[in-house]
Structure 1
Amino acid sequence: MGQFDGQVVYITGIARGQGRNHAIRFAREGASIIGMDIADRVADHTTYPPASSDDLAETVRLVEEVGGTILARQGDTRDLEFQRQLLADGVEQFGRLDHVIANAGILTWGLTWEMTEEQFTDVIDVNLVGTWKTLKAAIPVMLAAGNGGSIVIVSSCAGIKAMPVQASYSASKFGLRGLAQTAAKELGPEKIRVNTVHPYAVHTAMGLEDTEAIKAFQNWGRHFPSMMDHYPVASVDDLTDAVFYLSTAAAITGSELEIDMGATKV
């Protein structure tokens, strides 16, 4: 028996990294997966390798390899109608929706006054507006199912402790906290819990293969330390553990769970 037998989870940003790991673990525990990822370069100003359609196909293969069922499509969280149709088709196939993991996001670097307009608006549109569209598409489906459930929104430690050269990213991640707090209050009577997780560095392409991140740490390193030099980067399993906990913690809503090696406290 799996922890999520018979349940259905919708995960954005599923092609690799945290999203892929969440999908595999939920599938291993019995859940059916509805997933999406843009699986392409979102913007010219991002400086880490983008996910690809091959990555998305590999996620599907890995989910099926552990015995899971999955409906995954390539698309953009900024496209509300795409998300609505994906969820409608997913519920038709799997019968319900119990959990949402709003994981998709992008990062860019630059001083506040030197960023291009695209560097600011693209990140806000993907991270904040795109997540709002995920909730707008998913919440009515959850309410119609009448099973309660949970929503976990992936924010960042930059949404608790603003970081230099991350104006758009920090603004978007602070915004996700407000979005989650509002939704938690609105959905409490419907037995749907809403929480956020706040990672620091995670062992993903976005976390470790960003060429501009190295420069940022060199120039602004005093703002980026953690308390755990022996464990500088979280694993994707660390994040999935947090998502699993919040997806099952019946007494927790409106919380902000920091997976940050103490970085927000220094």
Structure 2
Amino acid sequence: MDLTGKVAVVTGSGRGLGLAYARALAAAGASVVVNDVDQQAVSDAVAGVEAAGGKAVGVTAAVGSTAAAEELVAAAVEHFGRLDVLVTNAGILRDKVLWKMSDDDFDDVIRVHLRGTFTCARAAAVRMREQGEGGRIVLVGSPAGQRGNFGQTNYAAAKAGIAAMARTWAMELARARITVNAVIPVAATEMTKTIPAFAPAIEEAERTGTALPDWMRKDEGLGTVEDVAGLVTFLASDSSAEVTGQAIGIGGDRLALWSHPQEKKAAFRDGGWSADAIAAAWAEGVGAEPETFGIPAPKPPTGA
């Protein structure tokens, strides 16, 4: 996969998944703008990319505002002359159940994830349309946004919105040959390391330097952050020119295409539906096979 001559901005790329994306894009030949709120993380990430033979510059900024988004695009243009790829990875967590979640808990997550994705994508789209040579916008979603997750009202809502924006922007930017897709990653990060079913296997793999067990890599589709980066590189490349408006999952040994929400079953009644009519027909009609919700709990094999 050759990204030579392309320029990418990766938000939230000082550590974790974002850093893996930035490194993979640079290894494929792209020049990369690294971003994080932590100046030291930015400096270390840039130094790591350059030490591996890549090209990178850093921008320390909190994603969310229009000013931050425009600063990132300006850095790409100033240092490398153009912008071809945007990866909106920046995010924070403020997990609490609904009745304990404060206004700030909700607003902070929405500002970084949802508004940050919007402002950065808008700034990138403006620049890419001006260049007139197409482009790639890769949004980072989550299984929580696809299915919901306990204690993550704010995060799940933001990630569901990101998937919806990917489908909307894929339509709006098609004439400009700018593709927009959502990546749904699952990887061993600081967050997933705390899940009781995963923690022992992750700790063992890190201690011994061995791979995660097959039940995690295949059944749960969970691997390292590097396992996820190949999809981002593919979506940044010319090879993905016909791929747009999709939500694509990746983790461990699993690559998957998520379905879009659609009507599962419909019923019709002359004159419309009263509450009583719905109640009488629900259990054996459209409600006969209700949808599941929530991320399924991991099930390690006995003895794992």
TM range (shorter): 0.7 to 0.9
Contact 2:33–2:75 (8 Å) recurs in 1: no
CA distance in 2, matches of 1:108, 1:117: 11
| Aligned match for 1:76, one of 34, 47, 62 | 62
> TM-score, structure 2 length as denominator?
0.72
CA distance in 2, matches of 1:253, 1:38: 30
Give how far 1:204 is off: 2.2
| Aligned match for 2:231, one of 242, 247, 252 | 242
| Aligned match for 1:147, one of 129, 133, 136 | 133
CA distance in 2, matches of 1:204, 1:265: 18
- 1:43 corresponds to which residue? none
Given residue 111 of structure 1, which amino acid in structure 2 is its aligned partner?
V
| Aligned match for 1:203, one of 179, 188, 191 | 188
Give how far 1:23 is off: 1.2
CA shift digits 1:44-68 (9 cap, x unpaired): xxxxxxxxx3222110111101222
Classify the secondary structure of the residue corresponding to 1:258: strand
Residue 98 and residue 253 in structure 1: after superposition, are their counterparts in 2 closer, same or farther (change >3 A)? Answer: same
- 1:22 corresponds to which residue? 21
Give how far 1:17 is off: 0.9
CA distance in 1, matches of 2:75, 2:182: 27
Does structure 1 residue 98 correspond to structure 2 residue 81?
no
5+ residue gaps, structure 2, are 200-213, 257-293, 298-304
Give how far 1:198 is off: 1.0
Does structure 1 residue 180 correspond to structure 2 residue 159?
no
CA distance in 2, matches of 1:207, 1:138: 31
CA distance in 2, matches of 1:169, 1:91: 31
- 1:114 corresponds to which residue? 100
CA distance in 1, matches of 2:68, 2:18: 18
CA distance in 1, matches of 2:50, 2:174: 34
Given residue 223 of structure 2, which amino acid in structure 1 is its aligned partner?
A
- 1:46 corresponds to which residue? none
Contact 2:24–2:230 (8 Å) recurs in 1: no
CA distance in 2, matches of 1:184, 1:197: 14
Give how far 1:177 is off: 0.9
> TM-score, structure 1 length as denominator?
0.82
- 1:9 corresponds to which residue? 8
5+ residue gaps, structure 1, are 40-52, 218-227
CA shift digits 1:62-114 (9 cap, x unpaired): 11012222121110111211321332232122111111111111122211122
CA distance in 2, matches of 1:77, 1:130: 5
- 2:117 corresponds to which residue? 131
Higher relative contact order (CA 8 A, sep 6+): 1
Larger displacement relative to structure 2 (122-131 or 234-243): 234-243
- 1:36 corresponds to which residue? 35
Contact 2:11–2:34 (8 Å) recurs in 1: yes
User: Matched residue pairs, number?
Assistant: 237
Give how far 1:264 is off: 5.8
Give how far 1:189 is off: 0.7
RMSD between aligned alpha carbons?
2.2
Question: What is the percent sequence identity of the aligned residues?
Answer: 33
Give how far 1:265 is off: 7.5
Contact 2:9–2:72 (8 Å) recurs in 1: no
- 1:253 corresponds to which residue? 244
- 1:220 corresponds to which residue? none
CA distance in 1, matches of 2:188, 2:234: 20
CA distance in 1, matches of 2:151, 2:140: 20
- 1:42 corresponds to which residue? none
